[in-house]
Structure 1
């Protein structure tokens, strides 16, 4: 089993445990993503990181867990946020392009997390437009140097459940 982990979740201080998402429902059999979570005062569970691989989930979404509390199995309510993900191909200028993306994320005042040195997940709050980031991603994709997507292009689905 391959674990996708969040080394520096954007809301680490808010989180108090992790649960996993089985990524086989998204075409990645044998992989799970560990999400940082927080139990709210009302008992509901909120995501405290920006998902790298799981679809249909975003920072601050409220989710439900399996009976044993180890797996995310459903979405209770959406936060209104979106996740823009960019994966750079292993090319000579990948570091330069990643620096350009991170610089633009910073300029826009957004949050992001890195998975390795070529994959970034960017939190896009409700009502915020990011044409400058999409322009960078589309330019790199057109040159076959990157792939980008919105994480909500596919709804969340827990493997082995009816969520």
Structure 2
């Protein structure tokens, strides 16, 4: 079993539980995503990280856990947040590092939460409470230049 981990989850201070999401239903055979949660009931928890690979779930969503608490089985309540993922496609590592630093800096300046996976993939927490125009505008320019590919996290439904 291979696991995608959150090196620096945005809601780490809010968490008290780690579970996983099977990524096979989303086309990633043999891969799981470890997610950070805050337990809110016997079998319920709130997502405290930005999903890096799973579809149909976002930070702040309330999810149901399996009987042993190890696996997310369904989304029970939506938070109103969205996830935008961008994959940096530049070939030169120096260019990727420069873009990653700029995206991180814009996020920090504007208060937009984001998480990185394997240097080239960023997941951005898009919520009604935070102005995401700066970071999304920067990414849109890179997409137009062919330097990244992007998708919304709700491009597909959550499937356990």
What's the TM-score once normalised by structure 1's chain length?
0.87
- Are 1:140 and 2:142 an aligned pair? yes
How many angstroms apart in 2 are the aligned matches of 1:19 and 1:106? 27
- C-alpha displacement of 1:43: 6.2
Secondary structure in 1 matching 2:36: strand
Alignment of 1:1-163 (within 5 A): 1-40=1-40, 44-92=44-92, 93-126=95-128, 128=130, 130-158=132-160
Checking the alignment, whether the CA contact within 8 Å between 2:19 and 2:34 is kept in structure 1 is yes
The runs of 5 or more residues in structure 1 that have no matched partner are: 159-163
Asked whether the 8 Å contact 1:20–1:34 carries over to 2, the reply is yes
Query: Contact between 1:74 and 1:156, CA under 8 Å: does it hold in 2?
Result: yes
- Structure 1 distance, partners of 2:41, 2:30, is 34
Q: Is the 8 A contact 1:137 1:147 kept in 2?
A: no
Local SS of the residue matching 1:152: coil
Q: Following the alignment from structure 1 to structure 2, what is the Cα–Cα distance between the partners of residues 64 and 119?
A: 27
Q: CA deviation at 1:116?
A: 2.0
- The CA RMSD over aligned residues, in Å, is 1.8
* 1:161 matched residue in structure 2: none
Alignment check: 8 A CA contact 1:23 1:31 kept: yes
The alpha carbon displacement at 1:91 in A equals: 2.2
Query: Unaligned regions of 5+ residues in structure 2, if any?
Result: none
How many pairs were matched up? 158
TM-score, scaled to structure 2: 0.89
Find the aligned partners of 1:81 and 1:52 in 2 and give their Cα distance. 14
Find runs of 4+ consecutive structure 1 residues off by over 4 angstroms: none
Q: How far apart are 1:63 and its partner, in Å?
A: 0.1
Instruction: Tell me if the contact between 2:5 and 2:34 (Cα under 8 Å) persists in the aligned partners.
Output: yes
Deviation at 1:41, TM superposition (A): 5.9
